Amino acid sequence: MEFLKYTAKRVLQVIPLLIIVSLISFFIIRLSPIDPLAELRLNPSISQETLDKEMKRLNLDKPIYIQYFSWAKSFIKGDLGYTTAGEKVSTKLKERIPNTLLLTMVVIFMTWAAGVPIGILSAVKKETSLDRLLTVISSIGMAIPSFFFAILMLIFAVKTGWFPVGGLTSYNFNEMGFFEKIADISKHLVLPVIVLFTISLSGLQRQMRANMLEVLDSDYVKFARAKGLSEGKVIFKHALRNAVNPMITLLGFEFAGLLSGAALTEYVFQYPGLGRLILEAVMKSDINLVMASLMMGTIMLIAGNLIADILLMITDPRLRGRS
């Protein structure tokens, strides 16, 4: 019961937040000097009537607050509107979301599967040469800019010919058999996954190491050791369960990044995901598309936090008492 009440409260808190975020982003985009019709204005073969018609279609002839209200009204009804090119925003997003999810989920799964054990390992082997080596590797991973690394990977792909240069599927994808299709997609995913994996692994690994060290230093671990428990039991049964709590909060943020986290890498690899779509939408001030993606990002962030909180309540008995 407590649990449901808490969740309901959190969901209600979302509403004012969404209103504020939408207001700020809508006005910032609309007040920026980007004119969605600039290209048309400079086209010698476009007449004034055509320009006026376009202004009307895009609602640009109305004051900005009316534009906002008409957007908000249809958003509440679940209608995301049309892009400046006249396509449905919802279909555009639907085309791209699965691709981005595929990429980010593979990356998140791999980073967590690798990052947590490596973090534990380097905490347990603190200040040995193994730990130092891992520290150096993760520092490199943190220091290298993602787009630069992505470009290096592309050049690698061109020079060796082992991997395709960007994209998600080959041009003859539709004529392939089932297993060939899987192989084709995997081949396209390798490079972007390597880039994103290297970069997010380092942070996660360092975080896990720090948490683990803190816990290993605590009194109850010392007590457990003094009790004569085996090292494995101390680490996995006592230390790990406590060290993993902050990681759950982190997982909540990872969830928020599911749809937006890989924009830069997507762009370099020409990956047909949301990042590329939204970047181009912002450049062209395609308001409905930008707003839809921003709203989606906000909702994902809030949902991620909510999930993390709920998970924490399940894993951490102390929190259950408090709420």
Residues that bind other proteins (CB under 8 A): 33-35, 38, 40-42, 44-50, 53, 85-88, 91-92, 95-96, 154-155, 157-158, 161, 164-169, 171, 173-174, 267, 270, 272-273, 276-277, 280
Residue whose CB is less far from other proteins, 78 or 161: 161
Q: In whole angstroms, what is the distance from residue 140 CA to residue 20 CA?
A: 39
Residue whose CB is less far from other proteins, 81 or 246: 81
* Least distance to other proteins, CB of residue 230, Å: 39
82 φ, ψ (degrees, to nearest 5): -120, 155
Contacts 24+ apart (CB under 8 A), 65-72: 67/26, 67/30, 67/287, 68/23, 68/26, 68/27, 68/30, 71/26, 71/287, 71/288, 71/291, 72/22
Residue whose CB is less far from other proteins, 74 or 323: 74
Residue whose CB is less far from other proteins, 52 or 231: 52
* Least distance to other proteins, CB of residue 258, Å: 19
Residue whose CB is less far from other proteins, 165 or 194: 165
* Least distance to other proteins, CB of residue 96, Å: 7
CA distances from 127 to 48, 121, 133, 134, 237 (A): 72, 11, 10, 10, 23
Residue whose CB is less far from other proteins, 101 or 165: 165
3-state SS, residue 63: coil
* Least distance to other proteins, CB of residue 41, Å: 5
* Least distance to other proteins, CB of residue 198, Å: 20
Q: In whole angstroms, what is the distance from residue 279 CA to residue 267 CA?
A: 9
Q: In whole angstroms, what is the distance from residue 249 CA to residue 243 CA?
A: 12
Q: In whole angstroms, what is the distance from residue 54 CA to residue 159 CA?
A: 46
* Least distance to other proteins, CB of residue 180, Å: 16
